[in-house]
Amino acid sequence: MSFQIWRIALLTTMLMPTTAIAFQNEPASFRGIAWGTPLSTVQGQMKFDHREGLQDMYTRSGERMTLGDATLRRMLYIFYRGAFSGVFLASDKASGGAMIGAFRSNFGPGYQENPHIDRYLWDGSVAFIYLTCNTATIDCEGIIESKATHNQKIEDDAAAASRAKRDF
């Protein structure tokens, strides 16, 4: 499974103002795990799924696969450099509307560049949240992550790109 949503989210934030926009209920954790929690602290609850660069993706034992009224087909806990940094959520088909409702009810309306495209962004001082939905399949994918880690990833990607200049 490709997480191109990360790239889209990164590009979207590069086009937005650089200051954080406060939003309601800005999370410092997800389902009881605080941003920055070492993997070793919660390893017994997690099952390794796959690795992408410096990120390890895990599923959580006994996880409730719902978010409000939305049924989730995928939930991955993301550990960046060994610390909890966020969660990737994907709804079942036909649960997209419920997922949008859950995000907007909890975090407020969010930033939506085009009101005809279901793509939302919440960019606070503690958390970065991105939700994109496919109107054809009526499903959504979202990321809720630590703002500190989000910024670190941007810096790490820029450093890697800079190092790549030597290859040309």
Is residue 167 pLDDT above 50, yes or no?
A: yes
Q: Quick one: tokens of 86?
A: 């966020």
Q: How confident is the model over 7-32, as pLDDT tens digits?
A: 444 444 444 444 556 799 999 999 99
Asked if residues 157 and 10 have their Cβ atoms less than 8 Å apart, the reply is yes
Is residue 57 pLDDT above 60, yes or no?
A: yes
CA distance 103 to 125: 18
Q: What is the mean pLDDT of the chain?
A: 88
> What is the model's pLDDT at position 116?
86
| Residue with the larger pLDDT of the pair 136 and 125 | 125
CA distance 125 to 39: 23
Determine the average pLDDT of the residues in 72-82.
97
Residue ranges covered by each domain of the chain: 4-167
What percentage of the chain has pLDDT greater than the value 90?
A: 73
> What is the model's pLDDT at position 132?
96
